[in-house]
A and B are shown apart, each in its own frame.
Chain A
Amino acid sequence: ETGVTQSPTHLIKTRGQQVTLRCSSQSGHNTVSWYQQALGQGPQFIFQYYREEKNGRGNFPPRFSGLQFPNYSSELNVNALELDDSALYLCASSLYGHNEQFFGPGTRLTVL
């Protein structure tokens, strides 16, 4: 059984640029959730995708968008990067309707 993977591991961007982060869900899982974790804070829910549709959204601006593909992998896109977007971005996969989520290792984004 393959676990949740994320790429890239680390990324450095400058203000105003755009970034795409990728997540492959655990085998058999059809739901992907994205979280942002600022330094010293707990993760914050960005949004969730189920069967290629956005299923729920946290309190993040429209600059944060995503996709889910037929194989249930997912992308998080952030446009017009701001310094405060510097954080660890975590994805978690799950089976829809089940509470347990399995987390990937995260992508650490630094915006200069």
Chain B
Amino acid sequence: KNEVEQSPQNLTAQEGEFITINCSYSVGISALHWLQQHPGGGIVSLFMLSSGKKKHGRLIATINIQEKHSSLHITASHPRDSAVYICAVGRGGADGLTFGKGTHLIIQP
């Protein structure tokens, strides 16, 4: 079993829909990251969370430390939101990040 599990693996939705991507992890963490990766490979950091909730524009990220679970929400989705969204956890120190496999999101106009 992977230390970081994401669901769904693939998601296709219509423009304007509310999107939720889930992430569960099985290890103690110092922070959880939500990242966006477009075709071509570049990774952009969206959020870094250690507790509670963060909002940036149409994106909202929440984390429940006790349940080892995080969600990324996209409100009023748009075709430009189409990308792979990756959850990653950091345990601090020199261990690097541990990544989920990603959720491939397609927003159709």
Interface residues of A (CB under 8 A from B): 33, 35, 37, 40-48, 50, 55-56, 58, 88, 90, 92, 99-106, 108
Majority-rule SS of A interface residues = strand
Contact between chains at A100 and B48 (CB < 8 Å): yes
Q: How large is the interface on B (under 10, 10 to 19, 20 to 34, 35 or more residues)?
A: 20 to 34
B16 at the interface (CB under 8 A from A): no
B63 at the interface (CB under 8 A from A): no
Contact between chains at B95 and A56 (CB < 8 Å): yes
Contact of A45 among B30, B35, B86, B97 (CB under 8 A): B97
Contact between chains at A41 and B101 (CB < 8 Å): yes
CA of A21 to CA of B87, assembled, Å: 25
**Smallest CB separation, B44 vs chain A (Å):** 7
Given contacts A41-B101, A43-B86, A106-B42, 14 further A-B pairs with CB under 8 A are A33-B96, A33-B97, A40-B101, A43-B97, A50-B94, A56-B94, A90-B41, A99-B33, A99-B48, A99-B90, A100-B48, A102-B45, A105-B42, A106-B43
